């Protein structure tokens, strides 16, 4: 009987061993393909309608092919996550915990990168000064935003700015001249009113289901009141989250929501459906960011659309200011099997001529490489935005949701949606954000 | 091999001890796969969730926090708001059961076209929650079919999803639509187990349709009805994620966020698995208590 028990146990043990061996990751032998798995969420890659990579327009997929050609035996697999970035972040975290995450993840720069410090490796020793010294915006991806902190993401591109696109045809119909964009928020609202009064169009188009529009607008308005370091000071605790400037920005946002000047379904249109709504020509202004440049040009042509930075409130202390900042960060995950290979791919992408290729293809933002070729900027919108940036003598405010702890960012979007609809008062919204910030900071 | 082949043959007496031991081992081996599955896929995850509910963790690093996550949840106004949302969603339970009872009785009585309707009513169950959610989101969208239809009568378009009350109402509608079919079939299985002689006797005694329904049908399907009620209540607290995720993403604000969706938000979006796990543990206990109460109310343990 004991023999039988021992036999059964041996059989069971052998079965478990065989199963575990079968499940274990294979170690590539010499000559085998080395795979690099890259997760993106539409920042550097593009998909066709059918879900296949858009090889003609997708920079990331083109670079994957180019890198494979330069490095025989390497297979770069690009996965587009899909969904909004909050969902994509959750997917990444779950996969990383399960050990099935990517080797490289591309996400928003700032706190969407630094909030996942445990998931990413320090890039400083892997990339070296010869790469990093050539790139602008490196410090926004350092742990704790400390210049000596671990570098959790490689910045890519000069960044985005929150802008208002204007539909020339609708403005002309309303008797407004697009060549004279409004200088203040109040002027823009007055223009929107004129559009509603004189045409059958909406003054503004926005898609605020998730509260992203509120994020851009509040960041711009608070920047105008407190200056470009408004949110870096806030996250450091030097300016309270419930500063009167925050309440003022939210009051303006609530008034905008109640104004009747926007598309009537503004509170229930999702960000993913946003651009499609504006390009149908039913509104004069579209509050979004420079990442929509190409879509705007495709829809309206060079003469049909132009943009200006989100204007700040009348009497703002810092009127010549933009909002936005570094947008894209590439990180190597702790779970990456071949970190050297991942770092080599990042070095490949960081080259000045490679970034120039991206600028040429995407026309969404400039290069952040010191040797970037500005002549690659062909988009009239992007050129105009860069000219406007040179006039932004008060600097650029790095947005609230690029700096705050993740839980506070999530809450930020939600209170934005509620304030716009009048379901939450500006004071309550700011109080909730303050409480969340204090809780999260206390937990760090 | 050993014990069986070494046993005396030719009708001699068996050794009871060895027989019992052999049976015990065979029995243990037989239940081993199920035991491993239960431990590996149920007991361990539950125990691990309980463990991480006492920690602050992002899944990679763990910091023991005792009851801090629980205390924070009890002091969090959002948790209360979300819990009340779930209570509101309980409206769907009597609605879906009422419709399911009605449909099952009609199917049981074999109304004209009952075979066709049986298939039709089951159809929502072969659709994924995501598809159903998208259908309802599009139908009740600002430019959706419902507003287009209302427009024919001169009604201004309604923003169903910008108001928590109407958004919850639409989600409840989707839950009822997708759930009543399968529950009708469950109730139908209870109805078919009733002895037809009881109905015949009642009919002879002059009992009408309503009296038969009230005094015969419903009491005889009490157990199935109780079961359906319990699973619906559990469903309301633990399985609305798909509908909410697709239709409103929990918004506007937290107005349609449910407990299971908040668990997800806390655990993954806010990278605080400990808080999410603590919330999951609390809801697990709450559902358990609720189920025991319902069990008593429906007297599921009692013989008829």
Q: How far apart are CA A356 and CA A376, in angstroms?
A: 6
Residue to test with chain A: of B2, B253, B267, B279, most A Cβ within 10 A: B253
DSSP state of A283: E
Question: pLDDT of A209-229, one tens digit each?
Answer: 889 999 999 999 999 999 999
Q: How many residues does chain B have?
A: 304
Residues spanned by CATH 3.40.190.10 within chain A? 34-158+326-372, 160-325+386-443
A4 contacts B3? CB cut-off 8 A:
yes
Question: Among the residues of A146-292, which ranges form H helices?
Answer: 168-173, 185-198, 212-226, 230-236, 244-258, 274-279
pLDDT band at residue B232 using 50, 70 and 90 as cut-offs = very high
Strands A328-332 and A154-156: antiparallel
pTM: 0.78
pLDDT of residue A11: 54
Contact present, A328 and A106 (Cβ < 8 Å): yes
Cβ–Cβ below 8 Å for A93 and B271: yes
How much is the ipTM here? 0.72
- Start-end of H helices in A106-148: 111-114, 124-127, 129-132
C-alpha of B194 from chain center = 26
Q: Tell me, what's the pLDDT at B259? A: 94
Q: Which CATH number fits domain A160-325+386-443: 3.50.50.60, 3.40.190.10, 3.30.70.270, 3.30.70.380?
A: 3.40.190.10
Q: Are strands A34-40 and A74-80 parallel, antiparallel or unpaired?
A: parallel
CATH class of A34-158+326-372: alpha beta
pLDDT in single tens digits along all 444 residues of chain A: 455 555 554 555 455 444 444 444 444 455 678 999 999 988 999 888 888 888 888 999 999 999 999 999 999 999 998 777 778 888 898 899 999 999 999 999 998 899 899 999 999 999 999 999 999 888 889 998 888 899 999 999 988 899 999 999 999 999 999 999 999 999 999 999 999 999 999 999 999 888 999 999 999 999 999 999 999 899 888 999 999 999 999 999 999 999 999 998 898 888 878 888 899 999 999 999 998 998 999 999 999 999 999 999 999 999 999 999 888 999 999 999 999 999 999 999 999 999 999 999 988 888 999 999 989 989 999 999 988 988 889 999 999 998 898 889 888 998 999 999 998 999 999 999 999 898 887 776
Q: For chain B, what is the largest distance between any 2 Cα atoms, rounded to a whole number of angstroms?
A: 94
DSSP assigned state of A90:
H
CB of A305 closer than 8 Å to CB of A390:
no
**A424 to B253: CB separation less than 8 angstroms, yes or no:** yes
**A397 three-class SS:** strand
Cα distance between residue A386 and residue A391, in whole Å? 9
pLDDT value at position B4? Answer: 42
The b/e string for A228-247 (b: 16+ C-beta within 10 A; e otherwise) is bebbbbbbeeebebbbebbb
Residue of B40, B245, B251 to mutate, testing the A interface (most A Cβ within 10 Å of its Cβ): B251
Angle, helices B273-297 vs B222-238, to 10°: value is 160
Residues of A in Cβ contact (< 8 Å) with B65: none
Q: Which two tokens stand for residue A404?
A: 């705050």
- On whether the CB atoms of residues A281 and A167 are closer than 8 A, the answer is yes
Specify the pLDDT at position B204: 87
Distance from CA of B153 to the nearest CA of A (A): 19
pLDDT in tens, B269-282: 767 889 999 999 99
User: What distance in Å separates residue A44's CA from the closest CA in chain B?
Assistant: 22
Least Cα separation, residue A277 to chain B (angstroms): 12
Full set of structural domains in chain B with CATH: 2-52 (no CATH), 73-297 (1.10.3720.10)
Interface of chain A toward chain B, CB-CB under 8 angstroms = 1, 3-5, 8, 12, 86, 89-90, 93-94, 96-97, 115-116, 118-119, 209-211, 264-265, 267-270, 334, 406-407, 410, 414-415, 417-418, 421, 423-424, 439, 443
Whether B251 and B168 have beta carbons less than 8 Å apart is answered as no
Q: Give the residue among B92, B88, B84, B116 at the shortest CA–CA distance from B103.
A: B116
Helix, strand, coil percent values for chain A (each to nearest 5): 50, 15, 35
Burial of A70 (0-12, 13-18, 19+ CB in 10 A): exposed
Q: Do B251 and A407 touch (CB under 8 A)?
A: no
Cβ distance of B159 and A267 shorter than 8 Å:
yes
Of A199, A165, A437, A413, which is closest to residue A310 (Cα–Cα)? A165
* B268 to A93: CB separation less than 8 angstroms, yes or no: yes
B293-303 confidence digits (pLDDT tens):
988 888 776 66
Residue A363: what pLDDT? 85
> What is each CA distance from B244 to A32, B93, B169, B281, in whole angstroms?
45, 17, 12, 21
Q: How far is CA B107 from CA A394, B14, B198, B207, B218, in A?
A: 73, 57, 18, 20, 15
Q: How many CB pairs under 8 A join A and B?
A: 100
State whether A89 and B159 contact (CB < 8 Å): no
Exposed, middle or buried: residue A249 (CB in 10 Å: 0-12, 13-18, 19+)?
Answer: buried
């Amino acid at each position: 009987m004991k023999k039988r028990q021992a036999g059964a146990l041996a059989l069971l043990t052998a079965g478990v061993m065989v199963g575990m061996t079968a499940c274990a990751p294979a170690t590539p032998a010499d000559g085998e393909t080395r795979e690099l798995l890259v997760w993106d969420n539409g920042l550097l890659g593009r998909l066709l309608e059918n879900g296949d990579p858009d090889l003609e327009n997708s920079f990331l997929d083109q670079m994957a092919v180019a890198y494979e050609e330069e490095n025989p035996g390497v297979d770069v697999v690009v996965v587009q996550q899909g969904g909004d970035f909050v969902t994509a972040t959750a997917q990444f975290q779950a996969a990383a915990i399960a050990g099935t995450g990517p080797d490289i993840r591309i996400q928003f720069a700032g706190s969407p990168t630094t909030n996942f410090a445990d998931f990413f490796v320090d890039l400083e020793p892997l990339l070296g000064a010869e790469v990093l010294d050539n790139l602008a915006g490196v410090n926004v991806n350092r742990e704790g935003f400390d210049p000596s902190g671990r570098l959790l993401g490689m910045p890519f591109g000069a960044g985005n700015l929150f802008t208002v696109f204007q539909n020339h045809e609708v403005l002309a119909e309303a008797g407004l001249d697009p060549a004279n964009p409004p200088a203040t928020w109040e002027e823009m609202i007055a223009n929107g009113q004129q559009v509603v009064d004189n045409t059958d169009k909406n003054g503004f188009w926005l898609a605020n289901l998730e509260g992203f529009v509120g994020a851009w607008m509040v960041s711009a308005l608070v920047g105008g009141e407190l200056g470009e370091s408004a949110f870096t000071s806030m996250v450091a605790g030097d300016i309270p989250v419930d500063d009167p400037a925050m309440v003022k920005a939210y009051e303006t946002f609530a008034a905008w929501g109640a104004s009747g000047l926007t598309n009537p379904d503004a509170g229930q249109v999702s960000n993913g459906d946003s651009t499609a709504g504006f390009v149908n020509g039913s509104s004069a202004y579209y509050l979004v960011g420079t990442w929509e440049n190409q879509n705007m040009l495709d829809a309206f042509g060079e003469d049909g659309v132009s943009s200006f930075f989100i204007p700040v409130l009348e009497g703002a202390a810092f009127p010549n200011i933009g909002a936005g900042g570094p947008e894209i960060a590439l990180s190597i995950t702790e779970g990456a099997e071949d970190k050297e290979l991942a770092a080599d791919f990042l070095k490949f992408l960081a080259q000045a001529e490679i970034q120039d290729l991206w600028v040429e293809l995407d026309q969404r933002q400039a290069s952040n490489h010191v040797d970037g070729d500005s002549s690659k900027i062909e988009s009239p919108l992007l050129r105009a935005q860069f000219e406007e940036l040179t006039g932004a003598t008060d600097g650029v405010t790095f947005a609230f949701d690029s700096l705050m702890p993740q839980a506070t960012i999530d809450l930020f979007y939600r209170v934005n949606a509620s304030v716009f609809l009048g379901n939450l008062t500006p004071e309550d919204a700011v109080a909730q954000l303050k409480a969340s910030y204090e809780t999260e900071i206390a937990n760090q | 091999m050993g014990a069986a082949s070494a046993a005396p043959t030719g009708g001699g007496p068996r050794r009871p001890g060895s027989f019992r031991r052999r049976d015990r081992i065979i029995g243990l081996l037989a239940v081993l796969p199920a035991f491993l599955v239960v431990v590996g896929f149920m007991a361990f995850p539950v125990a691990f969730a309980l463990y991480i509910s006492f920690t602050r963790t992002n899944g990679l690093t763990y910091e023991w926090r005792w009851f801090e996550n629980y205390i924070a949840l009890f002091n969090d106004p959002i948790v209360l708001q979300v819990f009340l949302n779930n209570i509101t969603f309980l409206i769907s339970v009597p609605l879906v059961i009422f419709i399911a009872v009605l449909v099952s009785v009609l199917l049981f009585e074999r109304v004209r076209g009952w075979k066709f309707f049986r298939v039709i009513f089951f159809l929502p169950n072969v659709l994924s929650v995501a598809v159903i959610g998208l259908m309802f989101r599009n139908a009740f969208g600002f430019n959706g079919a419902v507003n287009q239809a209302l427009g024919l009568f001169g009604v201004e378009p309604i923003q169903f999803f910008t108001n928590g009350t109407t958004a919850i109402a639409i989600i409840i509608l989707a839950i009822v639509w997708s759930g009543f079919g399968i529950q009708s079939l469950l109730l139908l299985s209870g109805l078919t187990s009733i002895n037809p002689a009881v109905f015949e006797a009642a009919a002879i005694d002059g009992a009408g349709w309503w009296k038969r329904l009230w005094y015969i049908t419903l009491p005889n399907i009490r157990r199935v009805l109780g079961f359906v009620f319990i699973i619906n209540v559990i469903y309301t607290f633990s399985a609305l994620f798909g509908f909410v995720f697709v239709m409103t993403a929990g918004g506007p604000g937290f107005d349609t966020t449910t407990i299971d969706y908040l668990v997800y938000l806390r655990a993954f979006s806010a990278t605080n698995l400990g808080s999410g796990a603590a919330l999951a543990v609390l809801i697990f206990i709450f559902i358990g208590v609720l189920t025991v109460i319902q069990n008593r109310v429906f007297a599921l343990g009692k013989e008829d």
